[in-house]
Structure 1
């Protein structure tokens, strides 16, 4: 897959099951925003059978590692 967003840190794609404090988040892929800001290229490593998809901006965690939420 060609990516024009080589210098961008990808957003995390998660499947979320449950609600609130009982929600279980599983990272299943990454998303890169289009240059015009009107869409995303999404690459999934698995397909969810249940739950909802959530795309989150990357944020630096302690130690510089990526954290999804």
Structure 2
């Protein structure tokens, strides 16, 4: 069940991913990819474009280790 996006917009990125380069107090924002909230709402998938290669990353919350 999707809680963050409706079915029609499920494939559209929800976030842009940027590299921010500071140029003497004037930041230059360079778009390097897109991100989507996971269907379970517990993280994001990132698609980064770098020199003609696409890298896919998944970001998940850190959970405490069982003792």
With structure 2 as the length reference, what TM-score do the two structures score? 0.50
CA RMSD of the aligned region, Å? 2.5
Work out which of the two has the higher radius of gyration on C-alpha atoms and give 1 or 2. Answer: 2
- For residue 26 of structure 1, what is the aligned residue in structure 2? 30
1:17-65 CA distance string (max 9 Å, x none): 118x611100010001002222111111117xxxxxxxxxxxxxxxxxx
Task: Give the structure with the higher percent strand.
Answer: 2
- For residue 47 of structure 2, what is the aligned residue in structure 1? 43
Stretches (4+) displaced over 6 A: none
With structure 1 as the length reference, what TM-score do the two structures score? 0.49
Structure 1: segments with no counterpart, 5+ residues: 48-69
Tell me how far apart the structure 1 counterparts of residues 26 and 33 of structure 2 sit (CA, whole Å).
Answer: 22
Tell me how far apart the structure 2 counterparts of residues 45 and 6 of structure 1 sit (CA, whole Å).
Answer: 25
How many residue pairs match? The answer is 42
